[in-house]
Structure 1
């Protein structure tokens, strides 16, 4: 992978590439990119965990909301998961619908879009028992649908440009070669798309602040909106609002790497072997969504979404004193999803709709049920 990046830098007229190009090569270059390689990435043997791989109750609760949305808005049971990972989230969703809504399951279509050949193979293996599952390499292969499109940790893995304010001026960070190693240089921002993004988002950096500019996210969102004729778009990810990006805590930006479940601060080290990620811009996702025909319904914390969608119904009563029993472990996983300080504390859910003109309830009315002990 290092050779490919060196070639890209060498072929550039000015001997440098943007962070966006670097991330795209490091993550998505065929065969050698991180997501394109034939190796485990998610879970204990990989470099990171996702919420859906920690508890099946997460997927079952998402399924409960999908069923509600389909019934509430008279949508066809057509679902599209963008970035399917190991297939575990799809397995939980499909299992729940097959068990609880057999009539809906009989008419269901479930699309998965994933650029990774390795992950598509894992998904085919995990979902071999389910009907009407279509695994696609690109969103361009997806027909225009009525239904629900959703993602879990998708936009955080997309390429970003990196800018910094220094001595009152805005600079873009580029990658070049210095003394035989990848290094960073700053050049005045001239990219009109970056300047336009900052203008429409009314973003003003403080002195010394770095920020990721997600132009690839905006472009991909436009493709998503173009493939959704009527229904919902659900984005589950970690990120901040424009106001939160101003907080001193985020002054150095959020671009970082993960390898063997350890954070890697220098993202230029071992490209292709390290997962690269940055926090997403939720205000930009909402604003550009409106530009592309989506209506913003609600932005809420993942805990709130799960509670409103009925995750507490997944709790099981148990009298077993063994804290390592399957029921006890499952209930603890649910607790970790809904209590402050748990994994959901880092995630938000943005709900957007398109073409739904009738009034609807965004969440089901939940009947009170006893909470089993954790």
Structure 2
């Protein structure tokens, strides 16, 4: 990692964009955070996702995919399901198990593809999904031809949890009434890296800010997730007919760039602790920023998606029947399966948990509006 960062700085005249830095930290082969062969999720990792709080998120996603499959293929034709960036496969297992147990007619006609960039996570997914082996068409890199064929030739249902927040972001600072880009450069005195402002040198970033102006206070820092927006745009070009469900944490511009967010939303996660020390141990901690769903919806519309909706995770879970999963029990044993299940549902729905911060974005492609 140190060699890669030093080489990138050398090639770019001593400074790089924060997006370049973040991409190396997360995705450098073998050394990047998501490429390392060690746990990132759950108790032994650095953070939890909703997939680690029981199987309920997966069950609700399965209900949504079943409804989409029935709408898109009323004749009962085959359907491809693609999970993008599925990590250890826990969410895919919950989705496929719910389809098998609750929606067997849909399960009978689906084939599953895992689009995952990490060799370590692909291996974990293959092992975890052995119980659905007959349904697995492939667990491959996202740019594999088998994924492209599904997008081109099939009715395809795509879901992803905490994917958009992992795309590299650009960092900006408001200085003298203008936005300056924050670059990463070496700090000889400290022997580490630091941020330094400079002019915006990327025409794409300048054009985006011109079309989507952000007002900020002097000294305020913000993130612009161009890479995630470009992924959404490319997805619209690639997908012929289907349904997309993306769950992540984020909000609209008015909240993300509000005056009380003077340092932005970027955080580093390690061992279940979050801070702003993103130059500490590059490659050994997660870096993530909130998703601007207002901008995502605008890009999705331009990319040809229709019926674009964004709702809180709480509303999504309730709409798709999570309250029906609550179980009666006598309360004598707080560690009984029933008590554990109810606590998991409560954690997913409480406003101080994941329910309001997390959003679920859905969109359709190649289907007439009803």
Class of the TM-score when normalised by the shorter of the 2 chains: over 0.9
1:128 paired residue number: 130
Alignment of 1:342 with 2:353, yes or no, is: yes
Partners of 1:98 and 1:205 in 2: CA distance: 50
Deviation at 1:86, TM superposition (A): 1.1
Which residue pairs with 1:172 in the alignment? 181
Q: Tell me the alpha carbon deviations over residues 335-356 of structure 1, each in whole angstroms, 9 at most, x when there is no partner.
A: 1112322222220011111111
Q: Secondary structure at the match of 2:182?
A: strand
Q: How does 1:31-110 map to 2 (within 5 A)?
A: 31-74=30-73, 76-110=78-112
2:223–2:265 CA contact under 8 A, matched in 1: yes
Asked whether the 8 Å contact 1:169–1:188 carries over to 2, the reply is no
Residue in structure 2 matched with residue 163 of structure 1 by the alignment: 172
Q: Tell me, which stretches of 5 or more residues in structure 2 are unaligned?
A: none
Conservation of the 8 A alpha-carbon contact between 2:217 and 2:259: no
Structure 2 match to 1:291: 302
Q: Which residue of 2 aligns with 1:153?
A: 162
Aligned to 2:342: 331
Counterpart Cα distance in 2 of 1:26 and 1:358: 42
Please give the secondary structure, in 2, of the residue aligned with 1:251.
Answer: coil
CA contact (8 A) 2:250 2:290 kept: yes
* Cα offset, 1:358, TM superposition: 4.4
Q: Secondary structure at the residue paired with 1:307?
A: helix
SS in 2 for 1:250: coil
User: 1:198 maps to what in 2?
Assistant: 209
Superposed displacement of residue 110, structure 1: 1.2
- Cα distance in 2 for residues equivalent to 1:280 and 1:251: 17
Q: Distance in 1 between matches of 2:67 and 2:322?
A: 14
Give the Å deviation of 1:236. Answer: 0.6
Q: Quick check: 1:263 aligned with 2:274? A: yes
Alpha-carbon contact 2:164-2:291 (below 8 Å) kept? yes
- Compute the RMSD of aligned alpha carbons: 1.5
Q: Secondary structure at the match of 2:355?
A: helix
Partner of 2:3: 3
| Kept after mapping to 1: 8 A contact 2:222/2:257 | no
Partner Cα separation in structure 2 for residue 298 and residue 103 of structure 1: 27
Give the SS at the match of 1:344.
coil
Other structure's SS at 1:343 match = coil
Counterparts of 1:298 and 1:7 in 2: how far apart (Å)? 43
5+ residue gaps, structure 1, are 360-374
Instruction: Tell me how far apart the structure 2 counterparts of residues 339 and 255 of structure 1 sit (CA, whole Å).
Output: 24
CA deviation map 1:40-87 (0-9, x unaligned)? 110111111110111211111111121122113436432111111111
* Residue 371 of structure 1: aligned partner: none
TM-score, normalised relative to structure 2? 0.93
- On the 8 A contact 2:312/2:355 being kept in 1, the answer is yes
CA distance in 2, matches of 1:320, 1:246: 45
SS in 2 for 1:348: strand
- Cα distance in 2 for residues equivalent to 1:350 and 1:101: 23
Paired residues in the alignment total: 358
The answer (yes or no) to whether the contact 1:198–1:204 under 8 Å persists in 2 is: no
Q: Report the Cα distance in structure 2 between the residues aligned to 1:246 and 1:9, rounded to whole angstroms.
A: 29
Superposed CA offset, 1:289-318 (max 9, x none): 111111243211000001001111212222
Q: 1:137 aligns to what? A: 141
Corresponding position of 1:351: 362
Q: Could you say if the C-alpha distance between residues 358 and 286 of structure 1 is closer, same or farther in structure 2, counting changes exceeding 3 Å?
A: closer
**Do the aligned residues in 2 keep the contact of 1:2 with 1:270 (CA within 8 Å)?**
no
